[in-house]
Amino acid sequence: MTHLDILIPFGLPPAELSADLLKELQSPALAMLTSRAGSSTTSREDFDGFTRALPHEIWIARQFGMASALDDTGSPPIAHALMQSLGLDPGEGTWFVLQPVHIHVARDHLVLTDPRQLMLSEEESRTLFDIAAALCDEAGKRLVFGNPGTWFLRADEWRALQTSSPDAASGHNIDIWMPTGKGERDWRKLQNEIQMHWFNHPINEAREMQGAKPVNSVWLWGGATHSPLPNEYADAFNLAGWLQAFAQAVRRTAHAPMANDLIAAQPSRALLALDALQEHALANDWGRWLQAMHALEKTWFAPLHDAIKSGSLDRLSLILTNDKRIAQSTTTRPSLRKFWVKPSLEALRP
């Protein structure tokens, strides 16, 4: 049997815009897949607006054995696994993901900008990393370089810190999303030291002259003491960013630019991540969100619908999220035969 779970972060429009966006959304294959899913395999889960991880982050952390640790850490505890995926050996201790970020001043508060917008070069990142690493060393902490946008901080005594993922905090007043718990005061002191040493650094002056956002702070999250990665998947496709941490837990990972590439692989139980909507949603760019949804319809939803209909795939589960909800539904070949059910996008409504 071939069974595919498709995780689509921000595949659900926000409640306040859903009526207008769904009116413009032309996605007949998605409408067929969601409306003709079996009622016993359809579920929803709601979260409050102050959860320290986004619903899709919570969902995937659960799939890979991190549910109980997530309750303690707030954000997905992926530092160990992500280090290993980048060829680093975390060894013992508590490690956090540390990301260089831009925080901008709003009228009366500070707001975290989506880290994807920084697009740091290797040279820029290495220079800023060296400054931060020296300050961490003075504070008795070890900082390790992963890639230009991802560093790792060892802080065993901060293991009880509750942190927030950068995507959960992006676009919001950072006060309620900052780390809390034992060690939070020491963390803020270290963060402030790094910010002061980066202020007016030639790299940031050059970036501002080029119209790029300065790198003026760091974001701490993802604390972990080990990497439990039990899961039910044999294969995973299109794992990008920090989702690459889960690649080591599956037999095979691959990039599948189109549905036919995945269908040809004949996975027995696979996870597919489609993250084309996330950046647009975090930026509140709903015009580009619609364009990306239409592209997904053409490259993924339509061919996968055909694959279920022809029997090339046996079961297909869609996991659609926004910043407050997970909606999950499973479609099979028999369920597509429900000709009396009119295809619609009602499943995407709040």
284 within some domain: no
pLDDT tens track for 290-333: 999 999 999 999 999 999 999 999 999 999 999 999 999 999 99
* 85 and 210 assigned to the same domain: yes
* 216 and 238 assigned to the same domain: no
Is the pLDDT reported for residue 282 higher than 90? yes
* 130 and 146 assigned to the same domain: yes
What's the total number of domains in the chain? 2
Sheet holding 235-237, edge to edge: 43-46, 325-332, 315-321, 3-8, 269-273, 235-237, 252-254
- Supply 157's token pair: 């005594």
User: Distance between CA 204 and CA 88 in Å, rounded?
Assistant: 28
* 41 and 88 assigned to the same domain: no
**Residue 268, pLDDT score:** 84
Q: What are phi and psi of 147, to 5 degrees?
A: -155, 180
Q: Which residues of 87-121 are buried (b: 16+ CB within 10 A; e: fewer)?
A: eeebeeebbbbbbbbbbeeeeeeeebbbbeebebe
pLDDT tens track for 143-174: 999 999 999 999 999 999 999 999 999 999 99
Chain-wide mean pLDDT for the chain? Answer: 93
Query: Residue 31's domain spans which residues?
Result: 3-49+232-265+306-348
Domain limit, last residue, from 175, 193, 224: 224
Confidence band, pLDDT 50/70/90 cuts, at residue 228: low
- Supply 14's token pair: 């926000």
* 115 and 156 assigned to the same domain: yes
pLDDT tens track for 73-123: 999 999 999 999 999 999 989 999 999 999 998 878 899 999 999 999 999
* 102 and 237 assigned to the same domain: no
288 within some domain: no
Query: Which residues, listed in sequence order, are joined to residue 54 by a DSSP beta bridge?
Result: none
* 184 and 256 assigned to the same domain: no
User: Distance between CA 327 and CA 231 in Å, rounded?
Assistant: 20
